Amino acid sequence: MITQRVMYGSASYGKTAFFARGIQMDDNGNPIVVRTVEKYNADAKSWTMINGMHKARNYDETTNSWELIPDMLKDMTFITPSQSPPLIAVVDDNLYMLETSLNELRVYDINTNIWKKLGVVPVSANTTFGWGTAFKSMGDRLLVVGSSHSWHRKGIVYSSCPSPDVEEQH
């Protein structure tokens, strides 16, 4: 990475990965918010600094710019300020979110600006406010790693080939 950071947001599309915001330590050891966005090209094995963003936006690689998507997270439930940032992944040009307070898998409909509920995932992201839960794309699949709902809290890996056109998938 060009800018070292922790607790950053990340997303991948094909062989390109994006890393946004996060926390780094200043010279005195105090945490500061990183406002930059970087992309990594796996073919070229190179990092590029791209324009930062301050609101929910859509990135256009052809123009190297961000497009504002108003109220994109308006349906997101925030139970506590200590809740993790939204867990987002892209599969087959569709944007998916794990709504951690409800353990719900959702897909974004760009035409209606609505997150459509697809179903509940078998992880307990809600008990840790989303922290410690991984939500990533892997080819044509979504991968969720977290702990189970059961009382002994075993670690589980959940994989799914989602369909944005079907509601209430399991």
- The residue behind tokens 């959940």 is 158
- The predicted structure's pLDDT at residue 140: 84
- The predicted structure's pLDDT at residue 77: 66
- The predicted structure's pLDDT at residue 169: 47
Quick one: three-class SS letters along the chain? CCCCCECCEEEEECCEEEEECCEEECCCCCEEECCCEEEEECCCCEEEEECCCCCCEEEECCCCEEEECCCCCCCCCCCCCCCCCCEEEEECCEEEEEECCCCEEEEEECCCCEEEEEEECCCCHHHHCCCCCEEEEECCEEEEEEECCCCCCCEEEEEECCCCCCCCCC
For CA atoms 86, 5, 55, 143, the dihedral sign is negative
- The predicted structure's pLDDT at residue 156: 61
- The predicted structure's pLDDT at residue 164: 77
pTM for the full model?
A: 0.64
- The predicted structure's pLDDT at residue 48: 92
- The predicted structure's pLDDT at residue 28: 92
Please, what are the averages of pLDDT over each run of 10 residues along the chain (170 residues)?
A: 81 79 86 85 90 67 75 69 76 85 86 88 73 79 73 64 65
- The predicted structure's pLDDT at residue 47: 92
Q: Which domains does the chain have, with CATH numbers?
A: 1-64 (no CATH), 71-170 (2.40.10)
- The residue behind tokens 């190297």 is 64
Contact between residue 18 and residue 38 where contact means Cβ atoms under 8 Å apart: yes
